[in-house]
Chain A
Amino acid sequence: QQKVQQSPESLIVPEGGMASLNCTSSDRNVDYFWWYRQHSGKSPKMLMSIFSNGEKEEGRFTVHLNKASLHTSLHIRDSQPSDSALYLCAASMTGNTRKLIFGLGTTLQVQP
């Protein structure tokens, strides 16, 4: 079983709509979560990170974290066609901050 599970596998939203992506870890040793975005044929780029319970907002992007359930979510409001990409959730474990464990990702398509 993957240590980091993401859902849904793929998502289509209309331009201007809200996209909601989920990520859960099955390993209780998870410390921190990151969200990376990877456009087709490109390298992953860090979008947002969250280390504490609660919510963090940066522009159109909001992340939530519930450490008790080891669940994080990423919400993109006013989605744009340029947001179409693979969104990767990553986690690091207690005692090894150097290694990130990634999920399979959610492919987001924003339709004009």
Chain B
Amino acid sequence: DPKIIQKPKYLVAVTGSEKILICEQYLGHNAMYWYRQSAKKPLEFMFSYSYQKLMDNQTASSRFQPQSSKKNHLDLQITALKPDDSATYFCASSQQGGQETLYFGSGTRLTVL
């Protein structure tokens, strides 16, 4: 029974379009994150939220916008999609946002054509 739900599991988009990746966690955690995993690259930190506030933004491009409508939700809106955005996007959460274990969702695999 997954505690961090990511939707959709697979997503195919055309260059220039916009997509929203959904993440909900049912672990009762207060901190949520987005990471990206591309071929030949390390798992890369993108954003961190704590109590629905943006704490860290490591993404240079404003095309990536996290959205937190509820404490246990952190969606990721990506605009003007490029083929380089193709990757698996993992949502994660932790208890408070400190030196704690990260729990990852199952990921959304995005392919941009």
Contacts and interface: CB of A to CB of B under 8 A. Distances in A.
B25 interface: no
A42 B99 contact: no
B43 interface: yes
Given A49-B101, A98-B31, A102-B43, 18 more contacts: A32-B99, A34-B101, A43-B90, A43-B106, A43-B107, A44-B43, A44-B90, A46-B101, A88-B42, A88-B43, A92-B99, A97-B97, A97-B98, A98-B55, A98-B97, A99-B58, A102-B42, A104-B42
Interface residues of A, number: 26
B57 to A, nearest CB: 10
A102 B107 CA distance: 17
Q: How large is the interface on B (under 10, 10 to 19, 20 to 34, 35 or more residues)?
A: 20 to 34
Contact of A44 (B45, B50, B104): B104
Contacts of A46: 101-103
B18 interface: no
Nearest to B99: A97
Contacts of A44: 43, 90, 102, 104
